Amino acid sequence: MKSPLLLGLDLGTTNVKALVTDRVGQPLAQASSPIQLLHVGNGGVEQEIAEIEQATIATLQKVAREVDASRIEAIGVSSQGGALQVLDGQDRPLGRVVSWLDQRGRPFDAALTAELGRDWFLRHISRGCSGLGTGQLLRLRDESPDLLRAPNRVGYVGDIIVSRLCGRAAQDGTSCSLAVLYNPELRNYDPELLHRLGIGAGQLPDLISPREFAGGLRPEIAQATGLRPGIPVSVAIHDQYASALGTGAVQAGTVMVGTGTAWVLLAVNDRLAAPVIDEAFVCNHVVEGLFGQILSLVNGGSSFSWALNVLGLVGRSSEEIEALLASSPPGSAGLCFWPFLVSAGVSGLAPETKGRLSGLQLSHRPADIMRAVVEGLAFELNRYLGFLRNAGWPVERLVLGGGAASSRVTTQILADVTGLPLACLPSGEASLLGAAILARGLLEPRTSLAELSDAMLLPARRVEPGANASFYPEQFRAYLRSLPSAQASQS
């Protein structure tokens, strides 16, 4: 008898992806389909839910053709968070998806935070301010007062696609926390916040455990994709927590670092704690008994891409870039880089702090500038780890995913600056593997997701702090002294 296969589905911001693995996590097939971001002016970013649905079906079709689809036993779903869609009473879209990248809700978030106060938000959603979906709901209600009234309801990309697959719109607490409606103490929507928004809990997706399947694959979807009808489909979990499963960030003291366009931290603890910065997203981990906080550095891979572009290095091989970084000494020959090329939302700094490259001399080379960018990002990562440490949050090891995880020079700099061992994952598709792990969890409800993560995790490259670890503490302190703090700007 052939062993069952698992399908992980990731509903990303610009692509829908799917991965089929065996029970030990070995990848057997992978596919993706692009989706558009529509820039509509005034900071607005939208998407078409119909396009996301079509991309989902197309991706499932592609990946099912690469394997014996009859052996696929379950589908786990990972999704972008905070991308909302208003639906009518028959689940038809009213307008477009409002992307989590959309900035038009920010004034409404600021006004609500000023009205209710930081302490109110800390008590109700374990966050120091309003953000993302909450402000967008206020904006939509302001623009069209009847839009959010029953029978209309509010959905998010993940639960809408789950509904299309199995007939039940469902998300878990990790996705709900990115909508900024989740009370982690209640493990439910916060009723007082919903009341202030004028929305009933019945107008929102069902909140269920990631161990509970949302439903069986609908016959018409099975026929369209080549999958078997009735196989269990998971709730939609947030992609950062899917990545936590896919990187092994499933024990207290682990901090997962996603090194995409913006570097994002997911810190894991065994107790519910207040947010270490007001902008953090706090919720229950998908692993029972654990809790997480998501902190965004706002900047990250975008700074590295900017430097490659400015220096005319786009198109160089990864080996050439590695050699370039290695050729510059620790400290980048006296250069210091502030990685604030996107300043909005950076925590603890004076408003509108901009990026900076200081210490330039005629003797500096492109290699020195590139290394300064990496060191600046490493210092900024360490500054955010300081928020965790100062709050008493355990920080014992880092697990690294995304593009930077494949760079030996960058990962060594990160280990040296933070003083922490790194586990570097070989693939940038951690959320897909995490979704496949979630799928296996539907088939083995008595086995913890932490155990399943350990069983399916791909081997990681370990990086220990090295010879330069003693050099960087003073460099980091100098970096901190150079920054314009938010407190100084208010005095």
pLDDT tens-digit profile of 94-111? Answer: 999 999 889 899 999 999
End-to-end CA distance of the chain: 71
Answer yes or no: is pLDDT of 174 > 90. Answer: yes
Q: What is the DSSP letter of 93?
A: B
Over range 392-399, report the average pLDDT.
Answer: 93
Superfamily per CATH, domain 5-241: ATPase, nucleotide binding domain (3.30.420.40)
- pLDDT per residue over 396-450, tens digit each? 999 998 888 889 999 999 999 999 999 988 666 789 999 999 999 999 999 999 9
Residue 25: helix, strand or coil by DSSP? coil
Query: Dihedral, CA atoms, 355, 361, 362, 364, nearest 10 degrees?
Result: -70
Which of these, 101, 245, 96, lies nearest to 174 by C-alpha position?
Answer: 245
Q: What is the pTM of this model?
A: 0.91
Percent residues over pLDDT 70 in the chain = 97
**Tell me, what's the pLDDT at 428?**
61
Answer yes or no: is pLDDT of 39 > 70. Answer: yes
**Tell me, what's the pLDDT at 277?**
93
**Tell me, what's the pLDDT at 159?**
96
Which of these, 459, 396, 461, 393, lies nearest to 423 by C-alpha position?
Answer: 461
In the numeric block, the tokens 């995790």 are attached to: 457
Phi-psi region of 346 (alpha: psi -120 to 50; beta: other; left: phi over 0): beta
In this structure, how many other beta carbons lie within 10 angstroms of the beta carbon of residue 333? Answer: 17
Between residues 359 and 343, the one the model is more confident about: 359
Q: Which residues pair with 171 in a beta bridge?
A: 207, 236
Answer yes or no: is pLDDT of 127 > 80. Answer: yes
- Alpha carbons 303 and 262: distance in angstroms, whole number: 9
Answer yes or no: is pLDDT of 71 > 50. Answer: yes
- Alpha carbons 219 and 411: distance in angstroms, whole number: 47
**Tell me, what's the pLDDT at 160?**
97
Q: CB neighbours of 117 closer than 8 A, spacing ≥ 6?
A: none
Confidence class for position 490, pLDDT limits 50, 70, 90: very low
**Tell me, what's the pLDDT at 402?**
80
- Alpha carbons 180 and 183: distance in angstroms, whole number: 9
Q: Which sign does the torsion angle of CA 75, 134, 190, 199 carry?
A: negative
Residue 394: helix, strand or coil by DSSP? coil
Element (H, E) at 266: strand 263-269
**Tell me, what's the pLDDT at 427?**
61
Vertex 457: Cα angle to 409 and 73 (nearest 5): 140
**Tell me, what's the pLDDT at 229?**
97
What are the structure tokens assigned to 18, written together?
Answer: 């799917």
For the chain, what is the mean pLDDT?
A: 93
Which of these, 329, 326, 310, 328, lies nearest to 318 by C-alpha position?
Answer: 326
Q: How far is CA 341 from CA 206, 262, 337, 377, 470, in A?
A: 39, 11, 10, 11, 29
Beta strands at 206-207 and 170-171: parallel, antiparallel or unpaired: parallel
Q: Which sign does the torsion angle of CA 314, 320, 322, 328 carry?
A: negative
Over range 79-86, report the average pLDDT.
Answer: 92
Over range 293-304, report the average pLDDT.
Answer: 90
Over range 200-205, report the average pLDDT.
Answer: 94
Confidence class for position 482, pLDDT limits 50, 70, 90: very high
Answer yes or no: is pLDDT of 20 > 80. Answer: yes
Alpha helices in 311-347 (DSSP H): 318-327
Counting Cα atoms < 13 Å in the Cβ hemisphere of 192 gives 8
Percent residues over pLDDT 90 in the chain = 85
Between residues 491 and 176, the one the model is more confident about: 176
**Tell me, what's the pLDDT at 429?**
79
Answer yes or no: is pLDDT of 487 > 60. Answer: no
Answer yes or no: is pLDDT of 489 > 60. Answer: no
